[in-house]
Amino acid sequence: MLIYDFDGSFEGLLTALYQSSIRKEKPDQILARQGLEVNWLDQYVTIETDLAAAEKVVRSIRSRISEQAYEHILNVFQTEHPERGFWIDRYLRLGFKFGPSVDDHLQEDIIRTVHEQSRRVSRETHRMTGLIRFIRSSTGIYYAKYEPDNNITMFLAPHFADRLADQPWIIHDIRRGIAALYNRKEWILTDSVPAALASWTDCDDVFEDIWRTYHRQIAIAERANPRLQKNLMPLRYWKHLTEFSQ
């Protein structure tokens, strides 16, 4: 098998796609270098990230296919699934063949796969806009930690920059060690987050108490529906929900 390996960044993957076009090759896999298990029977091509090449690919996708196609591949990349490079590569090959109508070709397995994976990321992003819980530090900074299935912090940050525009905040993905930081003007994404931040307890307890009280007050015991609740708020998210903590 011909395998392209890249540095794990979105720009790195786009560079790999660019190189496959220049080399006129069709790699069997495009895999992130970190944790890659090398098989001596396979042929490996190491791709170094080229930001200019990556930007060329983005422009081509947007002009020759569609903005929606670009959003699909960006979503699929955030799944961090080992097959994401393969899915994106094959999807874009069809995209450059069919043009703006590519997403109508649902008879193609790869189109359906990309749509399914993209929806997974979109659904979790939408769900998390309602499940993120902030605690307030004594210095006035709002902090929220969570562990999403997909790498979606970059998608959540614009939402909270709009909704909490007058407050400084941190949204911390403790599974990946990355965070979005907002200073009342702009937000940035960083992976330079102290591990100790995940156990941060410097907060004004009154805010948590108010939220727990609110949750108890609006609850109607006679209408309790645990199955529906778990469907809308899967159990894996509960440990970071203030209303379910002690």
Per-residue pLDDT, 133: 87
Q: Among residues 94, 123, 152, which one ends one of the domains?
A: 123
Does 9 share its domain with 117?
Answer: yes
Return d(Cα 172, Cα 195) in angstroms, integer: 10
167 and 235, same domain (yes or no): yes
Residue 232 has what pLDDT?
55
Q: Do 78 and 138 fall into the same domain?
A: no
- What's the number of domains the chain is made of? 2
Domain end position, chosen among 64, 98, 123: 123
In the chain, what is the straight-line distance between the N-terminal and C-terminal CA atoms, in Å?
A: 53
* Domain with 238 in it: 132-244
Q: What is the pLDDT along the chain (246 residues), one digit of tens a residue?
A: 999 999 999 999 999 999 999 999 999 999 999 888 888 999 999 999 999 999 999 999 999 999 999 999 999 999 999 999 999 999 999 999 999 999 999 999 999 999 999 999 999 999 999 889 888 877 788 889 999 999 999 999 999 999 999 999 999 999 999 999 999 999 999 887 776 666 665 555 544 554 455 445 555 555 555 564 455 556 665 555 554 455
Q: Tell whether 136 and 119 lie within a shared domain.
A: no
User: Would you tell me how many other CB atoms lie within 10 Å of the CB of residue 41?
Assistant: 6
Q: Would you state the pLDDT for residue 243?
A: 47
Strand, helix or coil for residue 154: helix
pTM strictly above 0.75: yes
150, with CB counted inside 10 A (0-12, 13-18, 19+), is buried
Contact 105, 134 (CB under 8 A): no
